[in-house]
Amino acid sequence: MKPARRPSNPLFSSGPCAKRPGWSLDALDGALLGRSHRSKPGKAKLKEVIDLTRAVLAIPGDYRIGIVPGSDTGAVEMALWNLLGERGVDMMAWESFGKEWVTDVTKQLRLSDVRTIQAPYGELPDLSQADFRRDVVFTWNGTTSGVRVPNGDWIPADREGLSICDATSAAFAMDIPWSKIDVATWSWQKVLGGEGAHGMLVLSPRAVARLESFQPDRPLPKIFRLTSGGKLIEGIFVGDTINTPSMLCVEDAIDGLRWSLSVGGLTQLIRRSEQNLRIVSEWVAASAWAGFLGDDPATRSCTSICLRFTDPEVTALTPEAQADFAKKLAALLEKEEAAFDAGSYRDAPPGLRLWGGATVENEDMEAVLPWLDWAFATVKAETFGR
């Protein structure tokens, strides 16, 4: 039976993610449009993003927070290009984005001392393999496999190298222990449902010390440069952006951060997201056809919730036929306006992926699950001619 009720908000994309509950274009009324971002009020808006970010995430006062170009990719690459090469680096990767950073380091930067520690989709590599005498690059939450690191316990407090973390689908939904992190990056269009455009770059005092003591032997385009004359460009971390930001996106980022505070701050953002995972977990436990892509509950993501097929007839299909099945499933959910963008990532094993970040209401997560069952039964009946 087709379910009677649709999610009030059927947007389950893993980026750009659903806007916060109650969002409308009115939220952008105060945007400083047609004015210079270097004007006094322009800089104040950018500084507000930085200050609210520090307040919501409890980022230590001696860490720098900057707004940089190029979304999360821009922020990660800025870190890799500026910081790596002073010592060897361990690259941890278990899904598509982590693997992209491996490609950057091995094929573009072509660093000589690189160890790659990888795991297939659904698994986490052995974190104890990371050698923190070296720099270590990792993704807190693998958005395309739905596998996250369980905590920061594997990162020593007295590390010699830098811990460099792509935290884009983790920040604001997972607890990040700042003392274990030297570099963190994310973009606005994820957990707080902001707009894609800019990246956030957080640097620990040790990361700043590296920037000021190590000059990489490679050209750095202006868009990546964090130092001038061997000194950190402090302005970047108080709202003097390297180039022109979108003040509309900035206003929206402020709206998302203010909303975070209005619902109770980080604790509540995490609770909302973990509850979405709990709702899906209970449904999976009773499902005859769906399982998590990640087997270990301790490393399952509460934001990018990735599902695979467990139905014996579907798993017996060829990989191509399974991918086709998954596409039909996502298309049917979309046609019914029950769930948009719920297909798994293009390089990931076939299945579904539901975003469970803080802007997704728990009731909507509850409401979408009967639709998954109905759509699965419908596509299965079509596929097997019954």
Ligand X SMILES: Cc1ncc(COP(=O)(O)O)c(C=O)c1O
Query: Which residues of the shown chain bind ligand X in the complex (CB under 6 A)?
Result: 15, 71-73, 97, 139, 143, 166, 168-169, 187
Could you tell me which residues come within 8 angstroms of residue 164 by beta carbon, excluding any fewer than 6 positions away? 79, 80, 83, 135, 136, 137, 138, 182, 183
Of the two residues 102 and 317, which places its CB atom closer to ligand X in the complex?
Answer: 102
Query: Which secondary structure element, helix H or strand E, spans residue 166, and what is its range?
Result: strand 163-166
37 versus 198: smaller Cβ distance to ligand X: 198
Contacts of 223 (CB under 8 A, 6+ apart): 69, 70, 74, 242, 243
Between 187 and 273, CB nearer to ligand X: 187
Q: To the nearest whole angstrom, how small is the minimum distance from the Cβ of residue 78 to ligand X?
A: 12
- CB nearer ligand X, residue 168 or residue 322: 168
Q: How far is the CB of 102 from ligand X (least distance, A)?
A: 13
In 3D, which of 254, 284, 277 has the Cα closest to residue 357? 277
In sequence order, what are the residues at sequence separation of 6 or more whose Cβ sits closer than 8 angstroms to the Cβ of residue 14?
143, 169, 303, 304, 341, 345, 353, 355
> Rounded to the nearest whole angstrom, what is the least distance from the CB of residue 35 to ligand X in the complex?
26
Nearer to ligand X, 139 or 260 (CB): 139
> From the CB of 183, what's the least distance to ligand X, in Å?
13
Whichever of 252 and 375 has its CB closer to ligand X, that residue is 252
* Closer residue to ligand X (CB): 201 or 208: 201
**How is 181-225 classified by DSSP, letter by letter?**
-SEEEEETTSTT---SSEEEEEE-HHHHHHHHH---SS---GGG-
For residue 326, which of 306, 343, 305 has the smallest C-alpha distance? 343
Find the shortest distance in angstroms from Cβ 187 to ligand X.
3
Which residues does 70 contact at the CB level (< 8 Å), separation at least 6? Answer: 77, 78, 198, 199, 223
The number of residues in the chain equals 386
Q: Which is nearer to ligand X, 72 or 123 (CB)?
A: 72
Query: Could you tell me the smallest distance in angstroms from the CB atom of residue 312 to ligand X?
Result: 32
Least Å distance, CB 331 to ligand X, is: 21
Indicate the pairing of strand 64-69 with strand 198-203: antiparallel
Radius of gyration (C-alpha) of the chain in whole angstroms:
21
43's tokens? 């800089």
Least distance (Å) between residue 374 CB and ligand X: 28
